[in-house]
Structure 1
């Protein structure tokens, strides 16, 4: 069983790879039940595109503040596991409240509170997993790919259930997944690696991080590239139905899309070892840009489904390598803070821009135009990635990071 989950027979001691892989499986099962199908809930309570955009921008706005705060708490007090338990349970409980509210104002308030706790889940779980894979010489993608599998299964199964029983299923599935994730988290050691001594404040830590050119360029790229990827998770449901698909078809699409991420996350380890992190990330972002422009041309649902593996190349490669890039290009004493800042910019500011703009475009133009916008901002994000790959900062950045370790 350990070998199945971890993908590395030699790393099976103590069952930790199984627990970490299962943790990702159920965390992202919850996300897969929630994010791709939340548009069905919004439509059931008659929200406009602009209102959906505002609500969808709530998590990014909150994350800008809360993710660095969660990161600094974890770095200072070394309580990553406790923080993750708290945020998983609380966000699951808050999710159960959505079926009883039906106005824009109440949904906005509830989503804001949810975002405070949900914003810690990804950076903290990534920090725990990255510490483990570094210590045991594993590939992060081998564990992270189980998140893609969980997301894929949830999107499909929840899509079928939503079509049969309505959008309330979304929130019950989300809560159940968070609870099961906690059960597996309990099997993960309190500290999977020795934490560095915390010696700086949050503001000075962020200031130090922003002095690293490669890290700043990557933040800029993630603002555009990751922002459009996250926004697609919200708007694809509406898009797919407008080009002739069904709700169950949305679930099938996400099953194939997210399912394709897992093998490409596995492949990302090989590509990275052969050609490096920078080129792997650049390939992922380039394919994303092509994908969004193709979507804007209104292809058939059959074509969208048939080319499902495009998501594996773009999103799978990016997810498997982005956190690793952050870790390798920032000081060891600021690992969680660096990851939190990365997610605040990519999942935060970038997603906020894309969702707000997409909502306005939906009300004033069309869903197809939303994807033209996604393609444009992703092309902009390619510029800093090209500078990372071919720019003059690589040696200097590595020397500075190494000196702080």
Structure 2
């Protein structure tokens, strides 16, 4: 890294931000089940923050591109996320929790797309090293999911909201430590005709459609994976370690991702991610009671999230001009939210009616459709 790159400041923010994901993704469902909600209600509650990604990132992305005050948006979003989530201590009814989920998600989804633009602005010509910063987010995820899994075994799920508030406070403090940076405003043919014209370029819309499909396929995993494993007899501490294993594999991939990007095209990386997702969901749906198979499926997280995410960030950077980066990242978050919300909703309703096997089989089908689209519609390279 060069002296100009604030490596640890950027990495620290990623660490806290994805620690929050590690504290929510595996435990949201367990917490709501602890409160006595049915699978249908759990699916609806978890779909709310994903639906907010359909609105919030585009609003904040447009504001960031117009004002250029991306870091101010990150800090404001972090503060309001903390204050909004703290309302969870007021009441535990379904309607109130739905409000808390919607309100805190509106501000939470303002944060990451703008921060990604700031990070890439700091990296400039070193964009291939993005994964070396992002891996600290995975470290944060592991620390949260493994540590909290053991904590909740001792204290129970009633301690979960307090842990979330502590991590959100860390995000806010980390955002105050990050220096600002703006994308270079250079003459760029991608800027001609505006953002909408870039969306019409070959392969761009196909890519964004597949972003939604990938997140839809993750619906059962993020909503019911912990509940699924608990029903199969795994303890909460073990469940936390299994989530950590997937993210550890992701970290190892991040460490070599710059070499992978140099050797393979984005189309090849994205296609492989979807094919591996097809296999992963089938294994989790049908053979998760076999520990060896479960370990293998968790290692596949390196591809279904890690490789997919890094390749997607690079695709967006290549596809949009400097003044469109915020909107590009926002659309990525939005389509992820739409897919994730639909995934959580269908998983919630199919879990009790069709069972885990068929629910994960539908996720596998979504990944297969995306693999075909990417392989046939995305160009081999984008300038």
- TM-score, normalisation: structure 2: 0.92
1:175 aligns with 2:175: no
Q: Could you give the per-residue CA deviations for residues 27-61 of structure 1, whole angstroms, max 9, x where no partner exists?
A: 11112112211111111121111111211211222
Q: Post-superposition shift, 1:287?
A: 0.8
Shift of 1:160: 1.3
Task: Check if 1:322 corresponds to 2:317.
Answer: no
Secondary structure class of the residue paired with 2:161: helix
Structure 1, unaligned runs of 5 or more: 1-9, 198-203, 399-405
- 1:286 to 2:275 alignment: yes
Q: Comparing 225-234 with 366-375, which one deviates more in the overlay?
A: 225-234
Task: Measure, in 2, the Cα distance between the counterparts of 1:115 and 1:90.
Answer: 10
TM-fit CA distance, 1:185: 2.5
Instruction: Return the match for 2:59 from 65, 69, 80.
Output: 69
Partner of 2:236: 247
Count of residues in Structure 1 that have an aligned counterpart in Structure 2: 377
Q: Could you tell me how far apart the structure 1 residues matched to 2:51 and 2:299 are? A: 31
What does 1:1-400 correspond to in 2, within 5 Å?
Answer: 10-11=1-2, 13=3, 16-136=6-126, 138-194=128-184, 207-229=196-218, 231-300=220-289, 302-307=291-296, 308-346=298-336, 348-389=337-378, 398=383
Q: CA RMSD in A?
A: 2.1
Deviations 1:346-378 (A, max 9, x none): 2x1111111110011013121232211111111
Contact kept? 2:81, 2:108, Cα under 8 Å: yes
Rate the CA distance shift 1:103–1:367 in 2: closer, same or farther, 3 A. Answer: farther
2:29 and 2:224 in contact (8 A); partners too:
yes
Paired with 1:294 and 1:87, the residues of 2 have a C-alpha distance of 38
SS in 1 for 2:37: coil
Kindly provide the CA deviation profile for residues 132-173 of structure 1, in whole angstroms up to 9, marking residues without a partner as x: 222445511111111111111101111111222122333222
Check conservation: 2:242, 2:295, Cα contact below 8 A: no
- The SS at the match of 2:320 is coil
Q: Structure 2 CA distance, aligned partners of 1:264 and 1:385?
A: 21
1:33 and 1:22, CA in 2 relative to 1: closer, same or farther beyond 3 A? same
The question of whether the paired residues in 2 share the 8 Å contact of 1:36 and 1:155 is answered with yes
1:302 Cα deviation from its structure 2 partner: 1.7
Match of 1:201 in 2: none
Q: Distance in 2 between matches of 1:176 and 1:196?
A: 41
Give the Cα separation in 2 of the matches to 1:293 and 1:160: 28
Conserved? CA contact 2:117–2:325, under 8 Å? yes
SS in 1 for 2:252: helix
Task: Tell me which residue corresponds to 2:190.
Answer: none
Unmatched segments (≥5 aa) in structure 2: 188-192
